[in-house]
Structure 1
Amino acid sequence: MKPWSRLRTDTPLGPITLAANGLGVCGLWFDGQRHGPSPAQIQSWTHTPDEPLLLQAAAQLQAYFTGQRHRFDLPLDLSHGTTFQQSVWQALLQIDSGQSQSYGDLAKHLNKPKAVRAVGAAVGRNPISIIVPCHRILGAGGQLTGYAGGVGRKEALLRLEGHPGI
């Protein structure tokens, strides 16, 4: 398998690191994000500012932040989690821009209605922030709860998407 490559890019919500391998985009983390790779781990990946997939991902992110894109069209590699985490991350991809679900709703959608905490943990470990839209998951009653990149960023992303009530 192709080694991981990385690209650092700026966004209106702060710098991010994108990562890709031979299968697709496998990471997107804000600087200082919880549950992200360590700085040493990131440094071990090849810095490839001319990697076509990473450039495509960065361009799609810029279009997203300017309101020109609502969905991403990129190959993704979500294989670096457990089977359960992968099922949660796949379910996140089905939530459209401007929409949201609660952790409980997502657990029910996965036919695991008693696994709300496990769903929350998997959402928090999403390795491809924004593109796999974990920011669209809200607490019961629509509260802005938890986001590995910070609740302020979660609120900004929902506002950018025109989420009602934000």
Structure 2
Amino acid sequence: MSALFPTDPTDAASLDRLRGRLADDAAREGLLDVAYRQVDSPVGPLLLATTPRGLVRVAYSFEDLDGVVEDLAQRLSPRVLHAPARLDDAARQLEEYFSRARTRFDLAVDLTLSRGFRRTVLEYLRTIGYGETESYAEVAGHVGNPGAVRAVGSACATNPLPIVVPCHRVLRSDGTLGGYLGGLPAKELLLSLERAA
């Protein structure tokens, strides 16, 4: 086995310490613009990414997590580093959410990846309470553009921060689920988790 891919747990621990030191050094020198890590969840592995402004991305595993990191490097900064400790608070809050110990995220968010009307919709979605739902039409009305139902759907479909910015709480006017970036099983799970609390 190559020394680059340690199988001995002590080597893995050394590698983790080295990565941590690298992340700390990069941050101290102002060379870390985007930090990321992966966490497990009831809806599958999630990639979390943050900038100095706040959480910028939550990605489902089917989105091709390597591709998501590459996209962040292209759209935000090439100074991207696997730095799990920078996302400890976000990981903890997600774990608390999934265990029904948290009903509201207390995280700074960075909505840089959304602009214009989409960003307006995402800002509004953060006001929809835990266990509550609204229709796409209601959201369109609340953001001042009642005719923009499809645009609201598009904003939800491209939400860079699913779960934290709760687009899963937006349904069709007839009460059916509509679409969801993470897939309908994930949307159903999130809604049932919140109803059960």
TM-score, scaled to structure 2: 0.76
1:42 shift after superposition: 6.2
Q: Deviations over 1:120-166 (max 9, x none)?
A: 10111110010000000001211011001000000000000017xxx
Cross-structure match for 2:191 = 158
Q: Cα 1:112–1:126, aligned 2, differ >3 Å: closer, same or farther?
A: same
Q: Cα 1:115–1:69, aligned 2, differ >3 Å: closer, same or farther?
A: same
Cross-structure match for 2:3 = none
8 Å Cα contact 1:6-1:42 kept in structure 2: no
Q: How does 1:15-30 map to 2 (within 5 A)?
A: 15-30=45-60
The AA in structure 2 aligned to 1:8 is: Q
What is the alpha-carbon distance in structure 2 between the residues aligned to residue 71 and residue 98 of structure 1?
A: 11
Cross-structure match for 1:67 = 100
1:37 shift after superposition: 7.7
Root-mean-square deviation (CA), in Å? Answer: 2.0
Q: Cα 1:40–1:19, aligned 2, differ >3 Å: closer, same or farther?
A: closer
The AA in structure 2 aligned to 1:60 is: Q
Cross-structure match for 1:31 = 61
Displacement over 3 Å in runs of 4+: none
The AA in structure 2 aligned to 1:67 is: R
What is the alpha-carbon distance in structure 1 between the residues aligned to residue 172 and residue 183 of structure 2?
A: 15
Question: Unpaired segments of 5 or more residues in structure 2?
Answer: 1-29, 74-79
Helix, strand or coil: the match of 1:20? strand
Identity %: 38
Question: Unpaired segments of 5 or more residues in structure 1?
Answer: none
Cross-structure match for 2:88 = 55
Helix, strand or coil: the match of 1:161? helix
Answer with 1 or 2: which has the greater Rg.
2
What is the alpha-carbon distance in structure 2 between the residues aligned to residue 122 and residue 8 of structure 1?
A: 24
Q: Deviations over 1:23-58 (max 9, x none)?
A: 000010111149x8825616953100221xx11000
8 Å Cα contact 2:59-2:68 kept in structure 1: no
8 Å Cα contact 1:29-1:127 kept in structure 2: yes
Helix, strand or coil: the match of 1:155? helix
TM-score, scaled to structure 1: 0.90
Question: Which of structures 1 and 2 has the larger relative contact order (alpha carbons within 8 angstroms, sep 6+)?
Answer: 1
